[in-house]
Amino acid sequence: VCEQAGEDVVPCEGPCCGSFHLSCLGSTLKLQDRLLCPDCTSGVHQCFSCKLSEGQVHRCNVQHCGMFYHEACVRNNTLTVFDNKGFHCPLHTCISCHSKPKATRGKLMRCLRCPVAYHTGEVCVAAGSEMLTPTTIICTNHFSPQKGYSHHSHVNVSWCFVCSKGGQLLCCESCPAAFHPDCLNIAMPDGSWFCNDCRAGKKPKYRDIIWVKLGIYRWWPAEIQHPRNVPTNIQNLRHKIGEFPVFFFGSKDYFWTHQGRVFPYMEGDRGSRVQKTGIGKVFKNALLEAEERFKEIKMEREAKETQENNRKPPPYKYIKINKPCGRVQVYTADVSEIPKCNCKPTDEKPCGFESECLNRMLMYECHPQVCPNAERCCNQDFTKRHYPETKIVKTAGKGWGLVALQDIKKGEFVNEYIGELIDEEECRSRIKYYQENDITHFYMLTIDKDRIIDAGPKGNYSRFMNHSCQPNCDTQKWTVNGDTRVGLFAVCDIPAGTELTFNYNLDCLGNEKTACRCGASNCSGFLGDRPKTSGIQAAEPKGKKAKKKVKKRRARNEGKESEDECFRCGDGGQLVLCDRKSCTKAFHLSCLDRTKRPFGRWDCPWHHCDVCGKPSEAFCQLCPNSFCKNHQEGALRPWPPKGQLCCQEHDHPLPRVD
């Protein structure tokens, strides 16, 4: 009722599991008496999501939760988990890491006013949340702007977050993000609209590097600070739920602001054009400090994540057979339809690997009721799960892998690729979800046009086998009891202690490349590209580093060549390629100040003026800076010794002669 903690609260004995001050209920009961709150007494409970009592409400089936919801309200929340008994409400899933397996594990802090929860600590919780108890908060969704207070107003950027151009923009009602409807491939909606990040519950967090809009000043880089880490006089400044203190780089000032005036800083951000005097000089220093601090925090988080990942493999559910999902079916043949082999029961290893079993040659598994060798048949590896002994290990540079603990002969059965059986529609839905949540590890393998194996959430040890351009295993489709199954077989003799690998033969879903780290002599450099042949390797120049490697890009721009290094930072890795036919430039998502791949046709920043966003006519040859006809004067100068044009951001490589 009053949202205040204390030792004199009394728990309700009813299904709501709430706690109340007796004075807040106007009750004359004593602390030791049993309490039944008004809602539990009347049997009419309010929906915790919409706050309405009309209509039928259902209780969350988690013990001691006590929250009630309308079915429509709880189904509209993607964090709700349904089961045969009912549902687990969103209060039992961390909204910040909901796409990770750990989302429902560990201690959670729950909002007292709405179905939002975060893991305890500062990593997940939204900056600006008010802490009531170690497990209770009021989240930033309850920020209420004060009339007449200009810093509480919401501000949107004047450019599109996708193409960086101005024009008619679709503005998010919760954060400064703005987009062209065409860039999102949607029509201009009526009424209020929220961006994907805000709909997914993403909020600014403590220690995030951000851009802040304050007063008449330009967007300025800053770091979100925890209130306890700022000076006392800053802590005592007037602020409300949902506001958090930010530390401005360059000027060293502090101020309280909120989500409606900040958006994330990304590696490579430069801000608006920098002047050399006055506040422009301070802004230039702020950019340098922000970049340095961003890299420092990024390295800390990556080191912590690496340390956690090195402890044990990421969680998944171990299953022994494929699990169909949705409309997908597992086929079963009638025993009379299963072919019979001609192997003799007198053979030493009937239907074995070195036998002339007709079924084995045709990649059919024998059935014990049909095969003349019955249970002695050695062609039942899938059904009997005759896998050689293996072990999951941490590999150098490739994450977790699978190692053989015994010698495996060429052609022997190694494992079956097991997972959930899904159709193409579900496959694309999952891939879209993975991409939106920056999940880069896919475990999908196609059986036929109607069925795909996804070993991500559920699978067996085969899901840990890494890719190699020179693998020691390959995949084969076998027919087992009328159904198609995928097996992994050794293509060479594999000694004990060797890592087991196979070629993923990836299809390119999107316009990005993933670096291959298999270390094979014929490595193509990227997953999905064809491994090099011996002729190609012999024709390669010795000085590889002297010349950039150019590979053909697949999918939409068939036959087009693109660079393998990011045009902004110069490193390789997972890159997004420009869709202009004449442009070979490629970029990291982080270097583009983006968190998701662009949808539809995408032109890189090199084709838009850095000042106004119009089509560029003058280009820096060393970085993505470019300028239109109106802003090109004095923007570029020759770069010795090649005479290339470069912008003023690059230092002169040769000393000047007076």
What is the model's pLDDT at position 554?
42
As a three-state string, the secondary structure of 109-163 is: EEECCCCCEEECCCCCCECCCEEEECCEEECHHHCCCCCCCHHHCCCCCCCCCCC
Confidence of residue 149 (pLDDT cuts 50, 70, 90): confident
Q: CB-based burial of residue 566 (10 Å sphere; 0-12 exposed, 13-18 middle, 19+ buried)?
A: buried
pLDDT-derived band of residue 349, with 50, 70 and 90 as boundaries? confident
* 23: phi then psi, degrees, rounded to nearest 5: -65, -35
Instruction: Give the Cα separation of 65 and 245 in Å (integer).
Output: 33
Residue 213 is which amino acid? K
Assign a CATH topology to domain 150-302.
SH3 type barrels. (2.30.30)
HSE at residue 211, side-chain half, CA atoms within 13 A, is 22
E-strand ranges in 29-133 read 58-59, 68-69, 81-83, 86-88, 108-111, 117-119, 130-133
Cite the residue boundaries of each domain of the chain with CATH code 2.170.270.10.
Answer: 318-502
Written as six digits, the tokens of 103 are 């989302």
Q: How many residues does the chain have?
A: 658
CA dihedral 290, 295, 300, 302 (to 10 degrees): 140
Omega prior to 204 cis, within 30 of 0: no
pLDDT for the residue 548: 41
Mean pLDDT of 98-117: 87
Q: What confidence tier does 139 reach under pLDDT thresholds 50, 70, 90?
A: very high
More confident residue, 388 or 638: 388
Encode 273-306 in three state secondary structure: CCCCCCHHHHHHHHHHHHHHHHHHHHHHHHHHHH
Range of weakest confidence among 96-105, 110-119, 426-435, 648-657: 648-657
39 in Cβ contact with 59 (< 8 Å):
no
Residue at token pair 């390789």: 572
**Architecture of the domain made up of 608-657:** 2-Layer Sandwich (3.30)
- Is the pLDDT assigned to residue 658 strictly greater than 50? no
Mean pLDDT for the stretch of residues 468-495: 92
Mean pLDDT computed over 534-551: 41
Chain centre to alpha carbon of residue 447: 26
* The pLDDT of residue 266: 87
DSSP helix/strand/coil, 194: coil
CB atoms within 10 A of CB 134: 10
Mean pLDDT value of segment 523-551: 47
Does position 204 have pLDDT exceeding 50, yes or no? Answer: yes
CA 38 to mean position of chain CA atoms: 44
Structure-token pair, residue 236: 């005592």
| Statement: residue 513 has pLDDT above 90 | no
The pLDDT value given to residue 293:
94
What confidence tens digit (pLDDT) does each residue in 9-65 have? 787 878 888 777 766 766 655 555 677 788 888 888 889 999 898 889 999 988 888
**Which range among 111-120, 231-240, 641-650 shows the weakest confidence by mean pLDDT?**
641-650
**pLDDT value at residue 447:** 87
pLDDT band (50, 70, 90) for residue 173? very high
Q: How many CA atoms lie within 13 A of 571 on its CB side?
A: 10
Q: Give pLDDT, residue 264.
A: 93
Q: For the chain, give the percent of residues with pLDDT over 70.
A: 85
How far from 285 is each of 181, 252, 264, CA to CA, in Å? 36, 11, 19
pLDDT at 195: 92
Query: For the chain, what is the mean pLDDT?
Result: 83
3-state SS class at 467:
strand
Q: Which residues of 273-282 are buried (b: 16+ CB within 10 A; e: fewer)?
A: eeeeeeeeeb
CB 183 within 8 A of CB 599: yes
For 106, half-sphere exposure in the C-beta direction (CA atoms, 13 angstrom radius) is 16
Residue 308 has phi, psi (to 5 degrees) of -70, -40
191 or 178: which leads in pLDDT: 178
User: Residues spanned by CATH 3.30.40.10 within the chain?
Assistant: 608-657
- Supply the pLDDT for residue 538: 42
- 136 touches 91 (CB < 8 A): no
pLDDT at 545: 40
Confidence of residue 555 (pLDDT cuts 50, 70, 90): very low
**pTM of this prediction?**
0.58
* Rounded-to-integer distance, Cα 647 and Cα 611, Å: 13
pLDDT per residue over 351-407, tens digit each? 988 888 999 999 999 999 999 988 889 999 999 999 999 999 988 878 889 999 999
**Which pLDDT score, from 0 to 100, does residue 527 have?**
58
Q: Residues 322-347: what's their mean pLDDT?
A: 89
- pLDDT: which is higher, 583 or 36: 583
CATH class of 318-502: mainly beta
pLDDT digits (tens, 9 = 90+) for 224-281: 999 999 999 999 998 999 999 999 999 999 999 999 999 999 887 776 665 556 677 8
Average pLDDT of the residues in 579-603? 80
Q: Alpha-carbon distance 447 to 450, whole Å?
A: 8
- What pLDDT does residue 542 have? 41
Question: Which residues are within 8 A (CB) of 65 and not within 5 positions of it... i.e. 6 or more apart?
Answer: 17, 59, 89, 91, 92
Q: Where in the chain is the domain with CATH 2.30.30.140?
A: 150-302
d(CA 641, CA 650): 14
- Distance CA(207)–CA(431), nearest Å, equals 30
pLDDT score of 323: 93
The answer to whether 34 and 13 have CB atoms below 8 angstroms apart is yes
Alpha-carbon gap, residue 426 to 326, rounded angstroms:
9
Residue 1 has a pLDDT of: 61
Flag the least confident range among 109-123, 464-478, 499-513: 499-513
Give me the phi and psi of 39, to 5 degrees please: -65, -45
